[in-house]
Amino acid sequence: MQKKKMRGWALAAILVAAMGNAAAQSYPAKAVKIVVPQAPGGATDVFARHMAEKLGAAWGQPVVVENRAGAAGIIGTDSVAKAEPDGYTLLLTYAGSQAVNQSLYSKIPFDSVKDFATVATVATTPFLLVVGAGSPLQDFPSLVARAKAEPGRVTYSTSGNGSINHLLSESLNVEAGIKMMHVPYKGIAAALLDVASGNVDTAFAAVPSALPLVNGGKLRAIAVSSAKRNASLPNVPAIAEMGYPNFDVSPWWGILAPANTPRPVVDKINADVAKILQTEASREFFRNQGADTLITSPDKFHAMLESDVVKWAKVVKASGAKVD
């Protein structure tokens, strides 16, 4: 009887594998949707639209981007967690949402790791600390000096409570021994426009989000969050080189799918994404956004996500940031 059960399990495993391989060979047979859990105009949206265009061309099927913003990325992310695990609903998100929310919210409708299949990383990019072009804060030391002299008077905008912009700013408060006041918005585009207009003093924003306004003369970048300077703005110093050597943040962006998506489908998407990222056109696109392409296997991406959940849990605890 035991041998019959083992043979049955082995047969079932073979059938599941065969079905997965068949699904991968025919994938995609219809339109694919990429959910972006942030508002239009941010780095996630910019990256998703580039990948949707390139994947659509490679697959010969429409790949559409759907922005489902809200609750620091939870609404859009949850919609993918509960979608059919067939590869036709994907999530393009970043560490600041996927790895952080697990610690910020006491009640979250999904598990950031267990409820998703890690498919492919896309890019990594640091954040810029920006001020308005006409701001009297000429550089990073002057911002720190003013924040120390007038606690709570320097304001910073973010894309929402619990966003990585928020945590970065709170981390800076802790690292520099200052106190800036938080002004949350519903998206990074609105947050940056109020910095440009002078209504808010400063903000952290991913390079792709801030670069157009910096190049357009609306914002001035005074620091970068990575350990080293960014190639797009080589004259902008890293916070790490100005007395805070442990300040180093360059989040990843990547594609995830609902848990239990067939592994052959995951592997196919991963391979096709890698081919796109290896082209000079895509390398140039991401360079122009101040980002670096990032190619990894699904398993390595999974390990990165697990590690970042632990890392950001420590940051959340140290900063004292909580949403509920």
Please check whether residue 307 lies inside any domain of the structure. yes
Q: Are residues 290 and 264 in the same domain?
A: yes
CATH code, domain with 192:
3.40.190.10
The per-residue pLDDT for 137 is 97
Residue 324 lies in a domain: no
| Beta strands 292-293; 89-94: pairing state | unpaired
* pLDDT for 13: 46
Of the three residues 242, 273, 307, the one that is the final residue of a domain is 242
User: Would you tell me how many other CB atoms lie within 10 Å of the CB of residue 270?
Assistant: 21
Identify the domain containing residue 177 by its residue range.
Answer: 127-242
Domain closes at, from 219, 242, 265: 242
Domain of residue 18, CATH code: 3.40.190.150
Per-residue model confidence (pLDDT) at position 108: 92
Same domain, 179 and 66: no
Task: Give pLDDT, residue 303.
Answer: 97
- CB half-sphere exposure, 186, CA atoms < 13 A: 5
Q: In this structure, are 134 and 190 located in the same domain? A: yes
Instruction: Label residue 8 exposed, middle or buried (CB < 10 Å: 0-12, 13-18, 19+).
Output: exposed
Domain shared by 80 and 152, yes or no: no
User: Is 206 in the same domain as 288?
Assistant: no
Q: Domain check: are 136 and 212 in the same one?
A: yes
Beta bridge partners of 257: 117
Q: Are residues 36 and 90 in the same domain?
A: yes
Instruction: Compute the CA torsion angle 125, 131, 133, 138 (nearest 10 deg).
Output: -110
pLDDT, averaged in runs of 10, over the chain (324 residues):
58 50 84 95 92 98 95 92 98 93 88 98 96 97 97 94 87 92 91 97 94 96 94 94 92 97 98 98 94 96 96 81 68
Q: Which of 242, 271, 297 is a domain's end point?
A: 242
Domain count, the chain: 2
In this prediction, residue 15 carries a pLDDT of 47
Instruction: Say if residue 148 is in the same domain as residue 165.
Output: yes
**The predicted structure's pLDDT at residue 92:** 98
